[in-house]
Structure 1
Amino acid sequence: MAKVTKTFKTPKTAAGRSAAKLSKNVIKGSHGKVLKIRTKVHFYRPKTLRLARSPRYARKAVPSRNKMDKYRIIKCPLTTESAMKKIEDNNTLVFLVDLLANKRQIQDAVKQLYDIKVAKVNTLIRYTTLVLIGKCGDGVWGAASRRFPSYYCGRYFVTQVDSPCSCSCVRLVWCCRPDGQKKAYVRLTADYDALDVANRIGVI
């Protein structure tokens, strides 16, 4: 029996040519070669079996508890003049908090301890400033010719000098020392009054 061969006529129009090309791909199928990138010189079989853990004994006798609880997060409320001004003007309570506590933990701890709703929490690592007074030419603060000196006065590091002068008069020197403590400014919602809450917890 003679073999029947199909002959395809090439269409003359552009649409016909694209249709013929598409039909050829559908009939034959497209064979694309994908090159796998190999990064190792050895071949490995895939790890298919993944069993759930069923330990024969407990690795820890006592399960570890959450050490960052609400009593560790909130150390104490601040009662400085600036903190009182925040309470009166901005409806904001100021606390000393743990250094590792984040804003969400502080918000949850305040909510649990004092039963109040928090609008916003701002945090900072506080720096305290001290005022020291000395003379220009007494050798303690350095020579008078140096306009903005920085000195180590035994315990604190002097970083800024106010009202520098060329004579041996008294001047103010600001010493900045890092306290290393974290402050949290907790602003309450409009439903709560910070003054009432401060009275209740014994700040005022």
Structure 2
Amino acid sequence: MSIVALTCALIAIDGDTLRCGAERIRLLGIDAPEMPGHCQEGRNCAPGDPVASKNALAERAKGPATIERIGRDHYDRTLARVRVNGIDLSCAQIQNGQAIYRADWDQFAFIATDCPSASAAARKPAGRIITRPANRQPPLPNQASGWSYRNCGEARRAGAAPLRRGQPGYGAHMDGDGDGIACEPIRR
């Protein structure tokens, strides 16, 4: 991890992602509502107004900033804690109802430890998640673990593909033909 003072103007891409020059920065431990058209079929998306969430982050991102890099996500964005004028942006988005806390996205529990609103959310059952309905028969829930890989690329990099319905990591969003097997090789 490294802490670096940023010298660029932060630009909000949505309620949980910023841009600093060419670098895309994903705020640690939160999930904000998706911009229109981004909550794809079968995907779990945070509830709320995506434009209001983005605007709130844009307003909070004005001023001297520091970034604490934690790692990279599967989209090759920098995972980080970002503070502007001494305020942690992940904490501010949760506290003001513009994002939900995600313990599974909070590496090392930094946000849960430092943000009272995240600590309270971590003690409660998971918040309401909006799932965009699919146009086919819904798959059986993943009883084994309750989580899934974000996409087939992530599953393949982990050496887990193909995945069958009910296996840890399986998600209907990766099962394009709905046959219960996700990330299966393309047959030619």
Bin the TM-score by the shorter chain: under 0.3
TM-score, normalised via structure 1 length: 0.19
TM-score, normalised via structure 2 length: 0.20
